[in-house]
Amino acid sequence: MGHDHSHDHTDPPSDPALRVKALESLLVEKGLVDPAAIDEIIETYETKVGPRNGAKVVARAWTDPDFKSLLLSDANKAIHSMGYTGRQGEHMKVVENTDTRHNLVVCTLCSCYPWTVLGLPPVWYKSAPYRARAVSDPKGVLAEFGTTLPEGVKISVWDSTSEMRFLVLPQRPEGTEDWTAEELEELVTRNSMIGVEQAQTLEKLHAIKADKTP
Amino acid sequence: MNGAHDLGGMHGLGPINPEPEREEPTFHAEWEKRALGLTLTAGWLGQWNIDISRFARERQHPVEYLSNSYYENWLTGLETLLVEHGVVSPEELKQAKAIDPTPEELTAKCAPASAVQGILSSGGPCDMATDDRQEFQIGDKIKVLQLNPTGHTRVPRYIRGHEGIITDYYGSFIFPDENAQGNKIGQHLYNVSFDGNQLWGDGNDTTIHVDLWQNYMELA
């Protein structure tokens, strides 16, 4: 299988698709895994549990001061009250962006990520360059996402070394004072809740929509 | 362990090249879906915990850890766990065929599809009481011990030996270094802030927050 620690790295690479297929058929044959359970897991993270959950949390915090204060003081209680409970969201902490502070989340040791509110992490979040540089060069990382912070805004980086999962509460974009929570959800990107970007501005949202119009 | 997984501050890994959020699929290949599902369902057999499985991934040879894709590391970790815990034999893995009978206490733990939503939505809380005294308070100045354990640990290299400030106390949680060896004990868990200038040199005007268990630190 090519993962003996002592080999000399000249083995032909084994195709992971074939390895996974072989392993699944073995575990099914041994009565240890139900393929339908795997289907159910995949469907959950492809269609049910994803960043729209987090967007609902953020939009509610933007429009409901009591909820926001609960979210910042007891994130578990606030987020669980919206029904977002479970795996990789058991222990939550929410960090708020302000006029002087921008937050960025990483897991330098593996890929810890708040699944219940953001779903499965994107490839870049799990990648070595992001994990290496988010703590040592966060400004450079933000620049790669096209994010420049206003003068005077300092960066806090949160390295997820325990089972605590972090969610960034981005700043509410200007010009949205009359918007409802449902409308605001559209401005809350996944990346803004990790902290590599800010919430969508109205200009950017309009540009994306125009771009999508055939 | 001082493995390839402990990446904070490493240079030379190239650009991040993020895919645009609106275009990135949840999975990039069919096999990734099955690798995720297999890892979760096999984990539900209860033969290992999250720290044991992290350690199985991170003790690969650094060349392999860094050249593998994410789900390849999961797959390798899973194969290691299944063999080490005697769930499958090396020969079964090699032949992809059942040879030995599976003990009933294991097949009884096979999760059916109908159990998945319940398992995912209840999760697995990691808080755990301890009799140890809470040594630090918010605002205390601490120093991270110069630890170099060869086993699993959650104290990254880039903060070892550095001073920080306790900014939050979470309660007591399962201590990963012991959990990875199958010993479940609770220990106090804190959030600690570090000055970027101190960690990375002058001109790094950032604050880095790291969650640390009490055993990793002493009062500065």
pLDDT 10s digits, A92-119: 999 999 999 999 999 999 999 999 999 9
Domains for chain A: give ranges and CATH numbers. 15-47 (no CATH), 50-212 (3.90.330.10)
Share of chain A above pLDDT 70, in %: 93
Among residues A102, A197, A110, A200, which one has the least CA distance to residue A155?
A: A102
> Do residue A40 and residue B117 have CB atoms under 8 angstroms apart?
yes
Nearest CA in chain A to B213: A162
Cβ neighbour number for residue A83 with a 10 Å cutoff? 11
Residue B15 within a domain = no
> Do residue A32 and residue B173 have CB atoms under 8 angstroms apart?
no
In this prediction the ipTM stands at: 0.97
Please state, in angstroms and as integers, the Cα–Cα distance from residue B43 to each residue in A163, B18, B52, B204, following that order: 17, 30, 11, 41
Claim to verify: residue B43 and residue B98 sit in the same structural domain: yes
CATH code at position B151:
2.30.30.50
Claim to verify: residue B158 and residue B212 sit in the same structural domain: yes
The whole-number average pLDDT for the span A22-48 is 98
Residue B110 within a domain = yes
Q: For residue A7, is pLDDT > 50? A: no
Residue type, position B106, single letter = L
Residue B113 within a domain = yes
Q: For residue A121, is pLDDT > 50? A: yes
Instruction: Determine contact, residues A94/A105, Cβ cutoff 8 Å.
Output: no
How many contacts, defined by CB atoms under 8 Å, are there between A and B?
A: 271
- DSSP summary character for residue B215: G
pLDDT for A214 equals 54
Residue B12 within a domain = no
A140 Cβ contact list (under 8 Å, min separation 6): A133
**pLDDT 10s digits, B163-187:** 999 999 999 999 999 999 999 999 9
Q: What is the mean pLDDT of chain B?
A: 97
B155 Cβ contact list (under 8 Å, min separation 6): A161, B144, B145, B147, B212, B213, B216
Between B28, B35, B211, which is nearest A20 by CB? Answer: B35
From A14, A110, A127, A136, the catalytic residue: A110
The whole-number average pLDDT for the span A25-46 is 98
Where does a domain end: B72, B95, B122? Answer: B122
* Count of structural domains within chain B: 2
Active site residue A6: no
Where does a domain end: B89, B122, B155? Answer: B122
B215 to chain A: which residues are within 8 Å by CB?
A: none
Domain hosting residue B98, numbered range: 30-122
The whole-number average pLDDT for the span A15-44 is 97
From A112, A160, A162, A192, the catalytic residue: A112
**pLDDT 10s digits, A143-186:** 999 999 999 999 999 999 999 999 999 999 999 999 999 999 99
Active site residue A112: yes
The whole-number average pLDDT for the span A197-210 is 83
Residue B10 within a domain = no
pLDDT for A202 equals 80
CATH code at position B62:
1.10.472.20
Q: For residue A4, is pLDDT > 70? A: no
Confidence of residue A6 (pLDDT cuts 50, 70, 90): very low
Claim to verify: residue B46 and residue B95 sit in the same structural domain: yes
Instruction: Determine contact, residues A96/A69, Cβ cutoff 8 Å.
Output: no
Mutate to test the interface with A, among B22, B27, B34 (most CBs of A within 10 A): B34
Q: To which H or E segment does residue A21 belong? A: helix A16-29
pTM of the model: 0.95
Claim to verify: residue B34 and residue B100 sit in the same structural domain: yes
> pLDDT under 50 in chain B at which residues?
none
Shortest Cα distance, chain B CAs vs residue A174, angstroms = 22
